[in-house]
Amino acid sequence: VVAAEQPWYWRRPTLTWVSANDAELVWETPDSELGAVRVRAGGKRWVVNESVAGKVHRVRLTDLNPSTVHVYHLRGRSVPGESSGAFRTLPAPGDDVPLRFVILGDSGNGRSVTRHLVARIGEFRPDVVLHVGDLAYERATRASLYAQFYDPIAELASSVPVWVVPG
């Protein structure tokens, strides 16, 4: 199977939200199942289980400590062993800590320039990435969108929220 044809759920999950006290992870599996996330932070370990089975999994992690690195691992029947990552919660409101963010658009077609751009963004260690669009066109397919956008940014999106807006 060619990498562009592989479903993205065999890759990393996506961190869709992070704040000072909570975060959300989303991933897909080929079959309906219950998912779970094992989390480790500050010497504590815990598991958050889904209550409803499905192919699209959305797990909200709550009561997190601000400015803390959280290591996670997805659990489920069809979740591959490499489905883990880490993210840092944002500082508490009122903390005098700068927020590091990246705004980009028209990030390319998934080739070397795109991958170089994503690597540079990762070196900056942003708290949030805002993508202002120009990702898909009328003839785009799910597979082409994953190959051109998601595949190059998947590792970054497993640890930093990458929010895409129409543009």
Backbone angles phi, psi at 120, to 5 degrees: -65, -40
Backbone angles phi, psi at 88, to 5 degrees: -115, 130
Which of 38, 43, 13, 48 shows the shortest CA–CA distance to 160? 13
pLDDT in tens, 53-97: 988 889 999 999 999 999 999 987 777 665 788 999 999 999 999
pLDDT tops 50 at residue 5 = no
pLDDT tops 60 at residue 152 = yes
pLDDT in tens, 114-147: 788 889 998 989 999 888 877 777 777 777 777 7
At residue 82, the pLDDT reads 59
At residue 110, the pLDDT reads 64
Residue with tokens 């080739």, as numbered in its chain: 111
DSSP the chain: --GGGS-GGGS--EEEEE-SS-EEEEEEEEEEE--EEEEEETTEEEEEE-SS-EEEEEEEE-SPPTT-EEEEEEESTT--TT-EEEEEPPPPTT---PPPEEEE----SSSHHHHHHHHHHHHH--SEEEE-S----TT--HHHHIIIIIHHHHHHHTTS-EEE---
pLDDT band of 49, cuts 50, 70, 90: very high
